[in-house]
């Protein structure tokens, strides 16, 4: 059984065709990273899986709960950290998980604080805890470290890695940072083209080396540049 | 202490001007006369009667305005279709200086309590309505998306995301609306009243008693300040989580 299965995804914004028949599978417990140039459609893909965008065609099937972490923490400013984390909880069992996930992200001491009293890194940890409360089988991470400084980024990346290993949840990480991908993912995909498709795919420690990914990203980018240059 | 410096200076100036006879007492009563009139009104019970009448009108009018503004603001803010139908008319009505409604209100409703409360309600309604619609329109779409990713129903989304997100704006609107309510109360009580703080104004004018007029002005200042402080207290209590500089 797979955590996510996408078949024939088609999505357009007006005349701009983002995807036209994209297929993607994420196995249970598998962590994939999706890289690509800005505007290539990687966030759109994640938003389609999260149910925030409606595909024009194709099917998206996910198993179990899906948790989403966005680039910004998106905490509810009127709730303290504990209430933010408890926001998605529907059952007594989920409510009972609140303290556990707060501890997991290292925020047990800040449970009473309001979002305006948190640093960027702490706020993003709270957002991560909120995404974990329903014990999701699939975590969608949309550039979750992009708004953080270099040190916080490394810290939170390590924390996410530990959490993913602990919860055994599948994850789809969208990022533009090769280091994020190598640190967190089992498999790396590069999206490129318009409509976008998978231009590169490799397993970390096997085909997906830093050089190979950068090359795939670079080739995609250079091709775009060359096309623009020759059309001038 | 700095905040008391100017009022103190004004008071000393007032006292000097009346004690030295720079102004005539029929033009401007002395502090002693004003305090004596205040004590007199308090002793006869008229003071509490008038304050009670005015406060009751303000709160009745304000409550009606608040209820109407919440219903209409939620409808207009929540639906573009309703906005297209309702908002242009409401904006047109808002563009009319509200006191221009006075003759019509007097003709329709007479000079009783209903007319006064209606006038207060008209004055208080628009600031609340405008603030609420702006608040609903300004809700962070990204927070709504969080609710959507957790599969919240429309009702739950409204109760758990939209209402709390809109509350700060609603309270700011309500504070301004309450100030407007006092403003319109003065107009209503100046026109026709047999009691209330505004009645003290007209009574003082007709009997050329500046001490009575000044007592009324003093009472309006105290009531206005108290209700504004009350609303600010409510804002701190309910929406202290906002990360903005209070206006």
Per-residue pLDDT reduced to its tens digit, A173-186 = 999 889 899 999 99
Q: What is the pTM for the complete model shown?
A: 0.86
Alpha carbon of A196 to those of A18, A71, A199, A200, A222: distances in Å?
Answer: 6, 21, 8, 12, 16
> Which is higher by pLDDT, B169 or A199?
B169
In the predicted model, is pLDDT for residue A199 greater than 60? yes
Residue B11 belongs to some domain of the structure: no
Residue B82 belongs to some domain of the structure: yes
Instruction: Band the pLDDT of A224: cuts 50, 70, 90.
Output: low
Which pLDDT value is given to residue B1? 73
**Closest in B146, B151, B160 to A74, CB measured:** B146
Nearest to A9 by CA among A25, A30, A32: A25
In the predicted model, is pLDDT for residue A140 greater than 60? yes
- Which stretches in chain B have pLDDT values below 50? none
3-state helix, strand, coil in chain A (%, to 5): 40, 30, 30
> Which is higher by pLDDT, B97 or A138?
A138
Average of per-residue pLDDT across A202-230: 73
Q: Look up the domain containing B114 and give its range.
A: 32-239
Which pLDDT value is given to residue B246? 52
- Pull the structure tokens for residue A129: 């805890």
Residue B209 belongs to some domain of the structure: yes
Which pLDDT value is given to residue A232? 47
Which pLDDT value is given to residue A80? 96
Eight-class DSSP state of A208: B
- Mean residue pLDDT across chain B: 91
**Closest in A50, A68, A77 to B242, CB measured:** A77
Which pLDDT value is given to residue B65? 97
Residue B1 belongs to some domain of the structure: no
Per CB-CB distance under 8 Å, the chain B contacts of A115 are 241, 243
Which pLDDT value is given to residue B200? 92
**A52 at B interface, C-beta within 8 A:** yes
Please report, for the domain that includes residue B221, its CATH number.
1.10.3720.10
**A72 at B interface, C-beta within 8 A:** yes
Q: Which residue matches tokens 């208080």? A: B124
Per CB-CB distance under 8 Å, the chain B contacts of A52 are 145, 148-149
Per CB-CB distance under 8 Å, the chain B contacts of A77 are 241-243
- For A88, residues 6+ apart whose C-beta sits below 8 A from its C-beta are A94, A130, A133, A134, B150
**Closest in B143, B149, B167 to A50, CB measured:** B149
Helical (H) or strand (E) element with A173? strand A170-174
Residue B171 belongs to some domain of the structure: yes
Residue B18 belongs to some domain of the structure: no
Structural domain tally of chain B? 1
Residue B176 belongs to some domain of the structure: yes
Distance CA A202, CA A180 (A): 15
Exposure letters B138-165 (e unless 16+ CB within 10 A, then b): ebeeebebbbbbbebeeeebeebbbebb
Per-residue pLDDT reduced to its tens digit, B58-98 = 999 999 999 999 999 999 998 899 999 999 999 998 888 87
Per-residue pLDDT reduced to its tens digit, A87-104 = 999 999 999 999 999 999
Which pLDDT value is given to residue B240? 87
In the predicted model, is pLDDT for residue A157 greater than 60? yes
CB count within 10 Å of CB B107 equals: 9
Which pLDDT value is given to residue A230? 61
Residue B86 belongs to some domain of the structure: yes
In the predicted model, is pLDDT for residue A156 greater than 70? yes
Which pLDDT value is given to residue B219? 94
Considering only residues 143 to 182 of chain A, which have any Cβ-Cβ distance to chain B shorter than 8 Å? none
Per-residue pLDDT reduced to its tens digit, A9-33 = 999 998 888 899 899 999 999 999 9
Domains detected in chain A? 1-46+57-64+139-149+166-232 (3.40.50.300)
Distance CA B125, CA B166 (A): 17
């Amino acid at each position: 059984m797979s955590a996510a299965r996408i078949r024939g995804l088609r999505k357009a914004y007006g005349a701009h065709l983002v995807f036209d028949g994209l297929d993607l599978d994420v196995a249970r417990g598998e962590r994939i990273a999706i890289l690509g140039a800005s505007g290539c459609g990687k966030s759109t893909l994640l938003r389609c899986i999260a149910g925030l965008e409606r595909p024009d065609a194709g099917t998206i099937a996910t198993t179990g709960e899906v948790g989403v972490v966005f680039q910004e923490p998106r905490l509810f400013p009127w709730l303290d950290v504990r209430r933010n984390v408890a926001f998605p909880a529907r059952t007594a069992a989920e409510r009972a998980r609140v303290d556990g996930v707060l501890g997991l992200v290292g925020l047990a001491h800040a449970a009473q604080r309001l979002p305006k009293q948190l640093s960027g890194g702490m706020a993003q940890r709270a957002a991560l805890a909120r995404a974990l409360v329903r014990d999701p089988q699939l975590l969608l991470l949309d550039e979750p470290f992009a708004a953080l400084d270099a040190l916080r980024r490394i810290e939170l990346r390590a924390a996410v890695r530990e959490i993913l290993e602990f919860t055994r949840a599948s994850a789809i990480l969208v990022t533009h940072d090769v280091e994020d991908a190598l640190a967190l993912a089992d498999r790396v995909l590069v999206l490129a083209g318009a409509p976008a498709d998978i231009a590169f795919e490799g397993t970390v420690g096997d085909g997906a080396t830093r050089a190979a990914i950068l090359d795939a990203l670079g080739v995609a980018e250079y091709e775009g540049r060359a096309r623009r240059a020759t059309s001038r | 202490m700095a905040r008391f410096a100017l009022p103190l200076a004004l008071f000393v100036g007032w006292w000097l001007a009346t004690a030295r006879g720079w102004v005539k007492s029929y033009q401007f009563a002395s502090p002693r006369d004003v305090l004596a009139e205040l004590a007199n009104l308090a002793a006869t019970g008229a003071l509490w009667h008038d304050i009670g009448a005015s406060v009751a009108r303000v709160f009745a009018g304000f409550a009606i305005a608040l209820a109407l503004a919440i219903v209409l603001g939620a409808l207009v803010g929540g639906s573009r279709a309703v906005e297209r139908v309702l908002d242009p008319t409401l904006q047109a009505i808002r563009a009319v200086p509200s006191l221009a409604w006075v003759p019509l209100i007097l003709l329709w409703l007479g000079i009783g309590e209903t007319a006064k409360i209606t006038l207060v309600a008209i004055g208080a309604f628009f600031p609340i309505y405008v603030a609420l619609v702006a608040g609903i329109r300004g809700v962070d779409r990204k927070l709504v998306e969080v609710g959507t990713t957790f599969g919240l129903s429309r009702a739950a989304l409204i109760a758990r995301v939209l209402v709390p997100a809109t509350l700060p704006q609603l309270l700011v609107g309500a504070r301004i609306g309450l100030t407007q309510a006092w403003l319109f109360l003065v107009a209503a009580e100046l026109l026709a009243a047999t009691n209330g703080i505004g009645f003290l104004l007209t009574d003082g004018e007709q009997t050329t008693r500046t001490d009575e007029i000044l007592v009324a002005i003093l009472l309006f200042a105290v009531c206005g300040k108290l209700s504004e402080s009350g609303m600010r207290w409510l804002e701190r209590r309910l929406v202290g989580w906002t990360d903005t500089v209070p206006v």
